[in-house]
């Protein structure tokens, strides 16, 4: 692998987006042979996870995925928009996002913002280096869309919280070293005002992890059971009973920055689908491209605002809605024009397409369901009545 002198990449943190883009595209071309294995991932989740961690470590040691992160947490500095450029060019060149499982863009910013500085300085470099992954413990069996009603309880025990309860749909928890967990610290009636965010180690005694198989065959989800789990108070993110602010920030990253990665991936995927399913009518391919481009424009606004440190409010709800609309349209069009390939194809490309089709069904559920995004837009942007 061509080694990029750290000083060169460090200097890029102060350069323009276009200079960074050109340098990274050049590096990808120079190292194409060594990066080639990352284009074809195994179908086995453990293997995928290991491969993506290797890619992450490569990109970290070359400096690329340190750009746009503050130096205090292991980055090289520069604006957040540089992270978006790196993930975009990686996808455009046909590589998977190395940090998709580690939810680097979803949980990383929240830990950087809400963790005590020494904790963020200790933990974030491990995530960026690909040494560990984190999971998001928000949803519960009775609290998904209605997150403010969550029940997993954290009781104040002096220096620690004693945690009891259950989480569900926690992606990749079986591989995770840490968890950003939302816990009830007030009364249930206190709703979103009685929630505290914690950052806990997944090997703490009392945590049981049970994987759940999803319809594409992956063991992506887990149920988590907490039985008298002690979490040091020093692992509190943000204010006690102020966990809602952490949750909303995480969701704005999930609906915003993650949508940017997804649009870059969908642009690339559309090209591969037109090769694989030449029956796809031009009109459908054109419509898919238009939707993906609309997502790109919406998401660009969000990424720019996040990069400038401006509040994004509820605007990422538009991005999330457009993301699921574009993704479902793309894979519905593929299924409609090449049903035999998508449903029955046995080669690797057909299997990937089938898996992506099935996963596209989830795009209007995770990160907040489409109906919830519509409610947010109706009530908080358009000012329509709640009922």
Backbone φ/ψ region at 241: left (φ over 0), alpha (ψ -120 to 50), beta: left
Question: In whole angstroms, what is the distance from residue 304 CA to residue 154 CA?
Answer: 37
Asked whether position 197 contacts ligand FAD by CB under 6 A, the answer is no
Give the one residue of 56, 171, 337, 360 binding ligand FAD; rule: CB under 6 A.
171
Q: Which is nearer to ligand FAD, 74 or 368 (CB)?
A: 368
Stretch that binds ligand FAD, among 25-33, 112-120, 132-140, 191-199 (CB under 6 A): 132-140
Q: Which is nearer to ligand FAD, 16 or 145 (CB)?
A: 145
Question: In whole angstroms, what is the distance from residue 23 CA to residue 20 CA?
Answer: 5
Least distance from ligand FAD to the Cβ atom of residue 304, Å: 26
> CA triplet 158, 230, 149: central angle to 5 degrees?
90
Asked whether position 213 contacts ligand FAD by CB under 6 A, the answer is no
Question: In whole angstroms, what is the distance from residue 5 CA to residue 25 CA?
Answer: 16
Least distance from ligand FAD to the Cβ atom of residue 172, Å: 7
Please report, as residue ranges, which positions from 151 to 170 form the binding site for ligand FAD (by CB under 6 A): 169-170
Least distance from ligand FAD to the Cβ atom of residue 113, Å: 19
Least distance from ligand FAD to the Cβ atom of residue 211, Å: 13
Residue 71, SS3 per DSSP:
helix
Least distance from ligand FAD to the Cβ atom of residue 7, Å: 38
Asked whether position 145 contacts ligand FAD by CB under 6 A, the answer is yes
Catalytic hit among 89, 220, 254, 327 = 254
Tell me, rounded to whole angstroms, the distance of Cα 244 from its chain centroid. Answer: 19
Stretch that binds ligand FAD, among 22-30, 85-93, 129-137, 320-328 (CB under 6 A): 129-137
Report the DSSP beta bridge partners of residue 77. Answer: 67
Tell me, rounded to whole angstroms, the distance of Cα 185 from its chain centroid. Answer: 27
Question: In whole angstroms, what is the distance from residue 155 CA to residue 226 CA?
Answer: 13
Residue written as tokens 């995925």? 65
Question: In whole angstroms, what is the distance from residue 218 CA to residue 235 CA?
Answer: 31
Give the one residue of 63, 74, 144, 256 binding ligand FAD; rule: CB under 6 A.
144
Instruction: Report in angstroms the alpha-carbon separations of 366 from 39, 71, 73, 139, 286.
Output: 25, 31, 28, 10, 26
Judge contact between 340 and 288, C-beta under 8 A. Answer: no
Least distance from ligand FAD to the Cβ atom of residue 314, Å: 15
Q: Binding string, 345-374, against ligand FAD, x = CB under 6 A?
A: -----------------x--xx-xx-xx--
Stretch that binds ligand FAD, among 75-83, 130-138, 154-162, 203-211 (CB under 6 A): 130-138
Question: In whole angstroms, what is the distance from residue 380 CA to residue 160 CA?
Answer: 37
Question: In whole angstroms, what is the distance from residue 367 CA to residue 90 CA?
Answer: 23
Asked whether position 252 contacts ligand FAD by CB under 6 A, the answer is no
Give the one residue of 99, 138, 265, 329 binding ligand FAD; rule: CB under 6 A.
138
Q: Which is nearer to ligand FAD, 355 or 375 (CB)?
A: 375
Site residue total, ligand FAD (CB under 6 A): 18
In the complex, residue closest to ligand FAD by CB: 144
Per the annotation, the verdict on 72 as an active-site residue is no
Question: In whole angstroms, what is the distance from residue 90 CA to residue 131 CA?
Answer: 20
> CA triplet 318, 324, 330: central angle to 5 degrees?
130
Question: In whole angstroms, what is the distance from residue 244 CA to residue 255 CA?
Answer: 16
H or E stretch including 333? helix 316-337
Least distance from ligand FAD to the Cβ atom of residue 135, Å: 6
Residues making contact with ligand FAD (CB under 6 A): 135-139, 144-145, 169-171, 362, 365-366, 368-369, 371-372, 375
Q: Which residues are catalytic?
A: 254
């Amino acid at each position: 692998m061509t080694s990029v002198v750290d000083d060169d990449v460090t200097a890029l943190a102060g350069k323009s987006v276009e200079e960074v883009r050109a340098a990274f595209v050049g590096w990808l071309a120079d190292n194409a042979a060594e990066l080639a294995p990352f284009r074809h991932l195994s179908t086995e989740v453990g293997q995928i996870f290991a491969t993506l961690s290797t890619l992450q470590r490569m990109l970290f040691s070359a400096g690329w995925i340190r750009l746009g992160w503050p130096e205090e947490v292991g980055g090289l500095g520069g604006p957040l928009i540089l992270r978006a450029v790196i993930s975009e060019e990686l996808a455009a060149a046909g590589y998977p996002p190395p940090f998709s499982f580690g939810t680097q863009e979803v949980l990383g910013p929240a830990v950087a913002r809400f963790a005590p500085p020494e904790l963020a300085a200790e933990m974030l470099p491990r995530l960026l280096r690909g040494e560990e992954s984190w999971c998001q413990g928000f949803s519960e069996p009775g609290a998904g869309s209605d997150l403010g009603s969550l029940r997993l309880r954290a009781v104040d025990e002096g220096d620690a919280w004693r945690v009891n309860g259950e989480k569900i749909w926690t992606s990749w928890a079986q591989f995770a070293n840490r968890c950003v967990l939302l816990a009830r610290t007030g009364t249930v009636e206190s709703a979103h005002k009685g929630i505290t965010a914690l950052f806990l180690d997944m090997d703490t005694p009392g945590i049981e992890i049970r994987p759940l198989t999803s319809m594409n065959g992956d063991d992506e989800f887990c149920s988590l059971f907490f039985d008298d789990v002690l979490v040091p108070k020093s692992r509190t993110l943000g204010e006690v009973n102020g966990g809602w602010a952490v949750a909303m920030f995480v969701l704005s990253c999930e609906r915003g920055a993650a949508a940017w990665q997804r649009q870059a991936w969908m642009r690339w995927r559309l090209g591969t689908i037109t090769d694989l399913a030449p029956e796809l009518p031009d009109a459908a391919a054109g419509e898919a491209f238009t939707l993906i481009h609309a997502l790109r424009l919406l998401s660009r606004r969000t990424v720019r605002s996040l990069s400038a440190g401006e509040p994004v409010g509820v605007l990422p709800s538009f991005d999330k809605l457009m993301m699921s609309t574009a993704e479902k349209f793309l894979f519905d069009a593929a299924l409609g024009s090449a049903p035999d390939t998508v449903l029955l194809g046995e080669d690797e490309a057909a299997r990937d397409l089938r898996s992506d089709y099935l996963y596209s069904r989830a795009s209007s559920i995770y990160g907040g369901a489409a109906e919830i995004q519509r409610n947010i837009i109706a009530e908080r942007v358009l000012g329509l009545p709640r009922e």
